[in-house]
């Protein structure tokens, strides 16, 4: 059984959530793709930033 790392799981969640948000929030396919990419970057970026914050707090 394949067990992804925490980072891979976050990226997988970001991908699926971004696809859903892009489809549900925008009307045209071009805007769907742009919004999906925007959401993916925000999800993945915030996960990286928050993990560093938690790492620094734990030290």
Span 22-51, pLDDT tens digits: 999 999 999 999 999 999 999 999 999 999
Residue 22 covered by a domain: yes
Residue 39 covered by a domain: yes
Residue 1 covered by a domain: no
18 exposed, middle or buried (CB, 10 Å; 0-12, 13-18, 19+)? buried
Q: What are the tokens at 21?
A: 């948000």
Q: What are the tokens at 12?
A: 């997988």
Q: What is the residue range of 37's domain?
A: 6-58
Residue 2: the pLDDT is 84
Residue 32 covered by a domain: yes
Residue 10 covered by a domain: yes
Give dist(CA 46, CA 44) in Å, integer.
6
Please report which confidence band the pLDDT of residue 1 belongs to, taking 50, 70 and 90 as the band edges.
confident
Residue 4: the pLDDT is 87
pTM of the model: 0.87
């Amino acid at each position: 059984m394949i067990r992804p790392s925490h980072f891979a799981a976050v990226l997988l969640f970001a991908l699926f959530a971004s696809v859903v948000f892009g489809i549900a929030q925008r009307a045209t396919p071009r805007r769907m793709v742009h919004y999906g990419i925007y959401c993916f970057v925000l999800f993945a970026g915030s996960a990286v930033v928050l993990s560093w914050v938690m790492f620094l707090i734990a030290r």
